[in-house]
Amino acid sequence: MTFRILYNDEMRGFAHSKIIIALWVGLPLLTLLIKFIQPDTEGIPLLIFAGAMVGSIGGTLSAVILSTTITGERNRHVYDLFLTRPVRRVTLLMAKFFAALTCLLGAAVMSLGLALAVDTATGVLMPDVGTQLGGFLLISVVGLAISSAVGVLFGVLINSTALSAILSVYLGGNLLSAIIILPTMLLDGLNIPLFTSLLGVLVPTTLMVVAVRVFNRKSL
């Protein structure tokens, strides 16, 4: 069974998930709600608020969704059927990781795009809006990738769905995603796009390697 088949199967599952559907609808609506509740943002573009919201809410949900899904499927012995076929455990985890990340990035793009449209309509645009939008998208990709990898790791490590969710909220959505922001605030002269890109490769890769090693040694 190839990665593409598993990825498409996971995408269909996530597309019918109430949580993912709520996220696709909820993040753009929250973006509009911010503008409705606080119409006068003192010249601060809505894009900035949307970028912060995507990183916080999207990162938390990505970790929770993946950790609880994997833990629940392990407890229900869902993977027993897959592993009777010629499929590697690493393929199972990678398909789930990339499918969830794709869905979450879709919500992020819709939210940021809507914020940009509102800023354009209201005349509140940053001078270098293209660069800023690219920066927010990069941070969103990296933050969601790190949080998703954390969710996968907790999913294979922990047998309790509730504990997986709790740890994912506190670590996946908050603590580990903060490593993207803090160095850029504390270190002068840091090449932020390069630093963020390196984090986006190294941290999720390391977490996924650990998750795969743990998953390979577990009896399902």
Mean pLDDT, contiguous 10-residue spans, the chain (220 residues): 85 82 82 71 69 75 88 84 74 92 87 82 68 74 86 91 86 62 60 77 91 84
* Planar angle of CA 33, 39, 44, nearest 5 degrees: 100
pTM: 0.84
Torsion over CA: 201, 202, 203, 209 (sign) = positive
Enclosing H/E stretch for 113: helix 89-122
What's residue 7's pLDDT?
92
What's residue 84's pLDDT?
67
Torsion over CA: 79, 84, 89, 95 (sign) = negative
What's residue 76's pLDDT?
85
What's residue 178's pLDDT?
64
What's residue 182's pLDDT?
61
